[in-house]
Amino acid sequence: MAWEAAKPLQVFSNKRMVRYALAQINATVGDLEGNAERILAAIGQSRLSSADLVVLPELALTGYPPEDLLLKPGFHDACEKVFGELVEQIEQRTLIGCPLREGDGRLYNAAVLVEDRRVSAVYRKVLLPNYSVFDEKRYFSRGMKGLLLEMPGQTVGIQICEDAWDPAGPARDEAAAGAQVIANLSASPFSSQKQERREETFARLCKDNNVWFVYCNLVGGQDGLVFDGGSMVVAPSGEVVARAKEFEADLLLVDIPELPKKESREIENARPVDRCSARVATEPEAEEKKPLETRATEETSLLEQTYRALVLGVGDYVRKNGFTGVVIGLSGGIDSALTAAVAVDALGSENVLGVTMPSRFSSSEIRSDVDRLVESLGIRLHTFPIEETLDKFRQLLEPVFASLEEDPENLTDQNLQARIRAVYLMALSNRLGLLVLNTSNKSETAVGYGTLYGDMIGGYAAIQDVFKTQVWALSRYVNEKHAREIIPESTIERVPTAELRPEQKDSDSIPEYSLLDPILKMYVEEDRSYEEIITAGHDAATVRKAIRLVDRNEFKRRQAVPGVRVTPKAFGKDRRLPITNRFRQWHRGATDE
């Protein structure tokens, strides 16, 4: 989509403040018409508030990330059609993120300036991330220039997401060319402590370049990613002076005082910077804007951020994929209890169905905890005992198994129980149109402590990126948040067990979670070596066992359901390792056991 830049109109202004509207919308990938409606609604709200510049998130038209939709010519045809219709309805000065296909076939991640029903200028993203969950070099060509928008009272440099994270990025070039404000269109996904890293990065950018920073971030769930919003404005001092809501759509209005013009200066290895002038005319006699009301900035803990990310991720995945609700297998354990609490906060109790499937190994205490959880959450419950079905399987398999050696742990029988339960859940899913929510946590997923086609089944995993020790902390947070016992205290305090054989404990098969989780964090999330983990003070035998379990269960994780990402490195796109892999992380000669 190549546009001819429109000629600027003469602009008059007697306003002392420049008003920015940061419209963090919840876009859905591929929903071009729906996203266009969300964009127009945000612009309409901004117009009522007399905003001088509306800023929308990165790729707001398509949603982020569109992935291989960007390889389909028909997708770009549709984008151009919808965007063309959108432009014809926009008079207010607006920056919109969208893909830009040019005549030579190159594709750019672009920020398009629209005003007076015309395209005035286009900025092409310069720094393309190609790490973690990002694959932008697979799709986009790199922009080579900065862009300045000269408005009455301020000169604004325009950039997109990653451009702000490199000290030698476009902000440096635009500030040297005279920018007083940097406007950044972003689609930055949530992970633990991400907001703190953003603020530190943007504060440094502002101080180094003596600029204001206007940052508009996407919000909403997209497959495993959760975009947390939190759009903000940062002063040249590095102070965050305004912040939008987290984990929900919002419109943040901020006034920045009219600034004295900056002289351009020469810097080494500077990129070229294009300029455009604002088009929309303002009458000289226009009244000054009414002052904005002060908005309080809420401080949120990491636990609250993580929980809200889980709720948003689950809710958007279910809604955006057209399901009416979810079904959850309730074991009486803490993982399924936390998953149910997340689902109720995401979808409402009327859209959550619990299913308990007891066996002869299910204790009366655990069954009682299921009843208490169901009552506190206000959800429906179905009960399907599995013992009779399990006995039938045993009878049918006995002729084959009778001649084989004894299985001391009876793993086949344990896995049969898990798979019978999966059959019940999937039958209810098919018949009732409900999505099965998987309840596996990150610790279990890491070491393969789960049954393929059994407790690993589902359409989406609520807590797959949450370590077991965090599951306990989040469960206590749920009770504190509601100021009552939602998740039974006995569930939180109980020693973890799969209840697939008599007196079973998780620690019979894997290290205690208090020992395991710190090792997994270092090995999985930080890519630390065996030697480094030992040096950090962890027991060598426990480290070897944990690493061996992680490495040998890649085949299970490759088949696991997608889930909400809340850490800097989740399983899936973040961590891509071969299934067939003979590399070992410890010294030659050391035992694997």
DSSP codes joined into one string, 175-232: HHTT-SEEEEEE--B--TTHHHHHHHHHHHHHHHHT-EEEEEE-EEEETTEEEEB--E
Taking Cα atoms as reference points, which of 231, 156, 250, 239 lies closest to residue 203? Answer: 239
DSSP codes joined into one string, 177-188: TT-SEEEEEE--
Q: From the CB of residue 394, how many other CB atoms can be counted at a distance below 10 Å?
A: 13
For residues 116 and 5, give the distance between their C-alpha atoms in angstroms, rounded to a whole number.
Answer: 12
Going from the C-alpha of 585 to that of each of 348, 442, 529, the distances in angstroms are 46, 21, 7
Taking Cα atoms as reference points, which of 425, 330, 415, 347 lies closest to residue 381? Answer: 330
Q: From the CB of residue 39, how many other CB atoms can be counted at a distance below 10 Å?
A: 27
Strand order in the sheet with 435-438: 380-383, 352-356, 326-329, 435-438, 460-461
293: left (phi over 0), alpha (psi -120 to 50) or beta: beta
Q: Are 118 and 86 in contact (CB under 8 A)?
A: no
Q: Which residues are catalytic?
A: 58, 125, 161
3-state class (DSSP) for residue 545: helix
Going from the C-alpha of 259 to that of each of 17, 89, 204, 256, 273, the distances in angstroms are 9, 31, 20, 8, 20
For residues 160 and 100, give the distance between their C-alpha atoms in angstroms, rounded to a whole number.
Answer: 14
Half-sphere exposure of 194 (CA within 13 A, CB side): 22
For residues 97 and 60, give the distance between their C-alpha atoms in angstroms, rounded to a whole number.
Answer: 5
Taking Cα atoms as reference points, which of 168, 174, 97 lies closest to residue 136? Answer: 97
3-state class (DSSP) for residue 530: helix
For residues 590 and 586, give the distance between their C-alpha atoms in angstroms, rounded to a whole number.
Answer: 7
Q: Are 379 and 353 in contact (CB under 8 A)?
A: yes
Taking Cα atoms as reference points, which of 43, 78, 64, 70 lies closest to residue 185? Answer: 64
